[in-house]
Amino acid sequence: MPTAAFITMGCKVNQYDTQSMQETMIRNSYTIVDEREVADVYVINTCTVTNIADHKARKAIRRAIRQNPTAKVLVTGCYAESDRAAIEEIPGVTFVFGNREKADFQGYLDELDGPGLLQIKPVEHDVIREHARFSAGVGNAGKHTRALIKVQDGCSAFCTYCIIPYVRGRMTSRPIPEIVEEVERIAESGYKEIVITGVHLSAYGRDIDRTSDIGDILEHIHPIEGVERIRFSSIEPMYFPDELIDRMAALPKCMPHFHLPVQAGCDKILRLMRRRYTTEEYTHLVEKLRSAFPDVGVTTDIMVGFPGETDADFEESLRFVEAIRFSQLHVFRYSPRRGTPAADYPNQVPPHISAERSKTMIELGKRLGMKFRERMLDKTMDVLVEDSREGTNQQLAGFTGNYLRVLLNVADSAINQVLPMRLTALDGQFIQGEVLPDAFLASQSSAIPIHLQT
Ligand code: SF4
């Protein structure tokens, strides 16, 4: 059987797309192997969010070609959209195709025996939208534990630093009946947690009729049998009214974790980024979430060194981040993306200054993360046990509802079960969890006993 390996970079939307392409390969009798193995076909699903992402993509392509110089190498994703020429220059690449062409992945497989095109194959975009823009697929983080579902793609916001609207196109929302059907299928195959994914989730529905929103998706999938948890991968803080939070809070399967990319904690920079909210509005959103969801985890992306960011602006951002008490920060250094307005802004911040600011922000993020974990100690929380081992003792691990990574002393039979755990001790970036005696006793009468690991 021919083998295929996937290298996936960037966001959850790309991960979802990879899963769909993997399913197509499996239907075509390919065996999916690890990216470090010698494979007949490599698919590199790239990201272009920063210059570093571009560099990593080129490195991954070259590594795949070195691993098997006779392999077919297919390159797709946002970097393939933004700088096709740079990829075409790499000897050994078979096809380059963009995000919109992922829906025609079967077509590329059919042509793999040919000489290779080294170009973006022309595909009727309307046809893609009609039949397969959102081809069915299950992104999976762990064995039948968490499944990604993409509900929209693209973005029409045009934040001044972001290349996404240019490489993924304008926003397209997927109809709710189709989403429901896919979640039903996912639940039937045993997945307990649904992660709703998209590029700009909070704008969901605005391209259709503005009467459907992300709350409607939640309300439609919440009753589906087998679904125990629902969360968002990342949701922009714009278009997030109080009323939506009230609707979410009425749905017990909706998990108390929100990744709300703030990008800057200073109104002047938010305006330059064209982010369409103020720090005050963001603070209100977080306060509302905190009152609706006890122990909510609020995580974020924050950029440092945006053009025009002075020392005083950066200090303001630090104070804002501290005041919000994020449970985790993803810190990015601004890097200009050709074709975006911010790349031509004056007052670009020198790299050594943005590097210094990044270090300071990362340190603050670590401190806040630690404080959040400390606050959660001695609490009892449900953990979905995953099929992955982590920490120094390679224990099974899982996430709490508020997205804390917990290490567990349970046997493999506990995998894919939601168990109440007492959070007993900090262990670096993890928390040690102990299964409650009640959960253990309950398991004795269930079909799958959960033995405490000795
Ligand atoms: S909302 Fe802004 S940052 Fe997010 S994808 Fe759209 S343009 Fe990019």
Question: CA 431, CA 63: separation in Å to the nearest integer?
Answer: 36
Q: What are phi and psi of 97, to 5 degrees?
A: -145, 150
Question: CA 362, CA 349: separation in Å to the nearest integer?
Answer: 18
Pocket of ligand 1 contains residue 162 by CB under 6 Å: yes
Question: CA 323, CA 117: separation in Å to the nearest integer?
Answer: 53
Q: Whose CA is nearest to atom 8 of ligand 1?
A: 162
HSE-up (13 A, CA, CB side) for residue 78: 29
Which of the residue ranges 39-43, 110-114, 386-390 has the most confident prediction, judged by mean pLDDT?
39-43
Question: CA 40, CA 68: separation in Å to the nearest integer?
Answer: 8
pLDDT beyond 50 at 121 = no
| CA 162 – ligand 1 centroid, Å | 6
pLDDT beyond 60 at 79 = yes
Q: Whose CA is nearest to atom 1 of ligand 1?
A: 157
Nearest to 293 by CA among 249, 235, 329: 249
Which residues, including other chains, have CB under 8 Å from residue 349's CB and lie 6 or more apart?
Answer: 305, 306, 307, 309, 334
Unique residue bearing structure tokens 């000489």 = 115
Pocket of ligand 1 contains residue 153 by CB under 6 Å: no
pLDDT beyond 80 at 220 = yes
Pocket of ligand 1 contains residue 285 by CB under 6 Å: no
Q: Which domains does the chain have, with CATH numbers?
A: 3-129 (3.40.50.12160), 134-374 (3.80.30.20), 377-444 (2.40.50.140)
Q: What is the pLDDT of residue 49?
A: 83
Identify the weakest region by mean pLDDT among 128-132, 175-179, 218-222, 326-330: 128-132
Pocket of ligand 1 contains residue 165 by CB under 6 Å: yes
- The confidence band for 287, taking pLDDT boundaries of 50, 70 and 90, is very high
pLDDT beyond 80 at 313 = yes
Pocket of ligand 1 contains residue 157 by CB under 6 Å: yes
Q: What is the pLDDT of residue 114?
A: 54
Identify the weakest region by mean pLDDT among 39-48, 136-145, 324-333: 136-145
Pocket of ligand 1 contains residue 155 by CB under 6 Å: yes
Pocket of ligand 1 contains residue 427 by CB under 6 Å: no
Atom index in ligand 1 nearest the CA of residue 156 equals: 6
Identify the weakest region by mean pLDDT among 122-131, 294-303, 433-442: 122-131
Nearest to 123 by CA among 113, 111, 114: 111
Q: What is the mean pLDDT of residues 316-327?
A: 98
Q: What is the pLDDT of residue 450?
A: 45
Identify the weakest region by mean pLDDT among 134-148, 227-241, 278-292: 134-148
Average pLDDT, the chain: 88
pLDDT beyond 60 at 370 = yes
Burial environment of residue 4 by CB neighbours within 10 A (0 to 12, 13 to 18, 19 or more)? buried
Q: What is the pLDDT of residue 113?
A: 67
Q: What is the pLDDT of residue 169?
A: 87
| CA 261 – ligand 1 centroid, Å | 10
Alpha helices in 71-142 (DSSP H): 78-82, 84-88, 105-110, 125-131
Q: What is the mean pLDDT of residues 191-207?
A: 94
Unique residue bearing structure tokens 């609707």 = 247
| CA 204 – ligand 1 centroid, Å | 13
Q: What is the mean pLDDT of residues 206-234?
A: 93
- Token reading at 180: 């429901």
Question: CA 158, CA 340: separation in Å to the nearest integer?
Answer: 9
Q: Using one digit for the tens of pLDDT, what is the confidence trace for 15-41? A: 989 988 998 999 899 999 999 999 999
Alpha helices in 236-278 (DSSP H): 242-249, 267-273
Which strand (E) or helix (H) includes residue 45? strand 41-46
- Output the pTM of the full model: 0.84
- Token reading at 323: 């005041």
Atom index in ligand 1 nearest the CA of residue 165 equals: 7
Q: What is the pLDDT of residue 175?
A: 94
Which residues, including other chains, have CB under 8 Å from residue 375's CB and lie 6 or more apart?
Answer: none
pLDDT beyond 80 at 217 = yes
Q: What is the pLDDT of residue 315?
A: 98
Q: What is the pLDDT of residue 453?
A: 44
